[in-house]
Structure 1
Amino acid sequence: MWSVLWAAVRSKAPYVTFPVAFVVGLVGYHLEWFLRGDPPATEEKSISEQREERRLQEIAGKDLTNVVSLKDKLEFAPRAVLNRNRPEKS
């Protein structure tokens, strides 16, 4: 008799476990909401918004037209790689 009962439970397991899990999740969600109370009314900024604001504050006082020229940047590269085809710099 037990083997027939276990076979029936095994075959109907998804139909039994989903409603049980749904009810447990629903009760847990409402219990947590009840214990914590209402969420705060202030709207918090996301991490990406905070990052963008921080970047804007960092560049607020800088002169963005003062950039390093490409010729000066090439001097910081290894000489063996970039000066191979540049006979005027060798």
Structure 2
Amino acid sequence: MWPLVWTAMRTYAPYVTFPVAVVVGAVGYHLEWFIRGTPKPREQRSILEMREERTLEEQAGTDGTQVLSLKDKLEFAPRAALNRNRPQES
């Protein structure tokens, strides 16, 4: 009799475990909701908004027309990566 039961359980396992998993997940979700309480409205700004505000604050005291040339910016890059095809300066 036991081999027949085990064969039936192995055959119909997805049909048995899926509803059990749904019930356990729903109970856990509602239990966590009950423990944490009602959610508070999100007052925190998004990361994109904070980044834009920080960038504007950094640029507030500087002159936007005074920027580094492209040559000056390339000097900070590693020589091995970007200077391979540039002619050597004498």
Q: TM-score by structure 2 length?
A: 0.71
Instruction: Give the corresponding residue for 1:42.
Output: 42
* Mapping 1:55-74, distance limit 5 Å: 55-70=55-70, 73=72
Evaluate the alpha carbon distance shift between residue 5 and residue 73 of structure 1 in structure 2; reply closer, same or farther with a 3 A threshold: same
Question: 1:74, 1:43 → 2: CA distance?
Answer: 39
Question: Sequence identity, in percent?
Answer: 54
* Over 4 Å off, 4+ runs: 77-81
- Unaligned runs of at least 5 residues, structure 2: none
Count of residue pairs brought into register by the alignment: 85
The structure having more radius of gyration, on CA atoms, is 1
Q: Report the CA distance between 1:53 and its aligned residue.
A: 2.6
Question: 1:64, 1:15 → 2: CA distance?
Answer: 65
Alpha-carbon RMSD = 2.9
Larger RCO of the pair (alpha carbons < 8 Å, separation 6+): 2
* Mapping 1:1-90, distance limit 5 Å: 1-70=1-70, 73=72, 76=75, 82-84=86-88, 90=90
Deviation readout 1:5-44 (Å, 9 max, x if unpaired): 0010011111111110100010011111111101112333
Counterpart amino acid of residue 3 in structure 2? S
